[in-house]
Chains A and B, each alone.
Chain A
Amino acid sequence: MKPVFRNLDDGPQVLIRFDGQEISLPEGANLAAALLAAGISRFRGTMVSGASRGPFCMMGACYDCLVELDGVTRQACQMRVEAGMDLRSGGADV
């Protein structure tokens, strides 16, 4: 079953890219939460085995929701959505 996250709020949306795919997300929203609500649950593959990972703790402690922005690995749960962000899933390609 695909996880489905629903957003209780409406707000102005902006376009970002995730692995080349254009996605509309609420501006200023928590990036990890917004990606989940947009139907993305796999944020990266691990460098150890390539296993899929997504947000786990949502508080900046687990380092599972890693994405890459401008060549830097970052925690999606500690970022806000900004128009034009060009994100790549973190870690290894499966």
Chain B
Amino acid sequence: MYDLLIIGAGPAGMAAASTAAQHGLTVAVLDEQPAPGGQIYRGITETGPRRAVILGTDYLEGAALAEGLAASRADVIQGAAVWDICTGIPFTVTYSCNGAPAHLNARALILATGALERPVPIPGWTLPGVMTAGAGQILLKASGVLPENAVLAGSGPLLYLLAVQMARAGMPPLALVETQSRADLLRALPKLPRALRGWRTLLKGMGLLAELRRHGIRRYQGAKDLAVEGRDQAEALSFSVGGTRHRIVAGTILLHQGVVPNTQITRALRLDHLWHAGQRAFLPQTDDWGETSQPFLFVAGDGAGISGAKAAASAGRLVVLQAAHRLGRIDSLLLEEESTTDFRALSAERSVRPFLEAAYPVPASILKPADTTIVCRCEEVTAGQIRGWARAGAMGPNQLKAFGRPGMGPCQGRYCGLTTTELLAEVHGTTPATVGLARLRAPLKPVTLGELAALHPKDD
């Protein structure tokens, strides 16, 4: 039995583990990847430092967190896919590692499972060769692999970072095709003064844009009607800017429309969630410390709302302080003392978000795609089918599954859930908040029946 179990070894999880160890809590960390870092610092302990010049200084900040984790005496289990959680005191977490199932128990649970790329349902987005921009970064960070002649498409600062990293590696993208327009930037300007508290982030963004220009990377802004062409493989990206249709021949298209909280676990546990209109996503409801509607269950980092890696590390430290306090390990005085800096940092990091959300909005045509576009990649369900079933009486995402299976494949709605909710809200003339998301159940990740059966006592 551990005092604390942390799921995820990204910035929030790594910071949480080392803080917990400093306060004498016994800690286990379960992480799905082969090494700590999460997605933002993916590969930081392995290939990362060798590629410092390409990846930049922000990425290297992950090294300190990884060292903190290594020094923490926490039991870190890599390659562990968590697929079931029972709440209660203690919490029981079931996971698979190297094809074998195992359980861990803990008094408090911290979910640091980060973010997922927002789905970008455009025609052709299921073709081989179409990947998320995050996938492009993961290829670079974890494997040192990059595509030649790629197009980056969508919206958001990650596209600039990836384009610059690709250029530094000698493989600049053919173009950046961006969906946001100058009008969006103008609309975002009123939010700029508040964002100045996070001036470092803004400054970095401007640095990236300058570097993009130096590398001579072509940018299209205000692009509409994006479509990937190709039969069995992406062959080109076509799009319109100001009434002119463009077509760029490319075998790799990397898509991005920001990231959204990964709520698979909190939803499976049926915790309370909120709709965040700015991020157009659901977040688990937490208090200021990250504690959810389930006592002793905390969410830290992007999983509680997108705020970025630095904020995640601060949140990771804060949830542990509160957990330690709730477990009677530190008194209120120490709690307050130790938390002041991180609360301030968190607030500064978060202040820039409303500006970014407004400057890089998700186009309505991507939130609510055209009828022929595939929404559910696993079951190959189109937006038109979903609209049709909604009109035929599917009021919500749970009934919709019965009508046509969206969200019932192995990804369990990770890349269609939000789109499905938006489409239902559109047809029924209501809000995504009212529609909600479909219920989730174990296994949170597919597991072989053999592994599952191994949990059953032999003599029964």
Contact = CB atoms under 8 A, between A and B. Distances in A.
Interface of A: 1-9, 29-30, 33-34, 36-37, 41-43, 46, 48-49, 51-64, 66, 72, 78, 80
Interface residues of B, number: 54
Nearest to A33: B143
Given A57-B132, A63-B410, 13 more contacts: A6-B148, A34-B145, A48-B379, A52-B232, A56-B130, A57-B116, A57-B134, A58-B131, A58-B134, A58-B139, A61-B116, A64-B377, A80-B34
A8 B232 contact: no
A60 B32 contact: yes
B251 A1 contact: yes
Interface in B12-61: 32-34, 39, 47, 51
Contacts of B145: 5-8, 33-34, 36-37
A4 B251 contact: yes
A53 to B, nearest CB: 6
A29 B127 contact: no
B116 A9 contact: no
Interface of A is mostly: loop
Contacts of B415: 56-57, 61-62
A1 B131 contact: no
B135 interface: yes
A5 B128 contact: no
Interface in B104-118: 116-117
A91 B131 CA distance: 20
Given A5-B146, A6-B171, A57 B117 contact: yes
Nearest to A48: B380
A51 B448 CA distance: 24
B131 A56 contact: yes
Interface string B120-147: 0000001111111011001110111111
Contact of B414 (A7, A36, A46, A62): A62
Interface stretch (B194-202, B233-241, B286-294, B364-372): B233-241
A55 B33 CA distance: 16
Nearest to A41: B128
A41 B129 contact: yes
Contact of A4 (B51, B131, B138, B148): B148
A7 B81 CA distance: 28
B411 interface: yes
A2 B127 CA distance: 12
A53 B234 CA distance: 11
Given A8-B169, A33-B145, A46-B380, A59 B251 contact: no
B232 to A, nearest CB: 4
Nearest to B262: A61
B131 A78 contact: no
Contacts of A30: 142-143
A6 B128 contact: no
A48 B410 CA distance: 13
Interface string B300-322: 00000000000000000000000
Contacts of A62: 377, 411, 414-415
Contacts of A54: 128-129
A9 to B, nearest CB: 4
A45 to B, nearest CB: 9
A55 B129 CA distance: 8
A30 B51 CA distance: 17
B265 to A, nearest CB: 13
Nearest to A45: B232
A90 B411 CA distance: 15
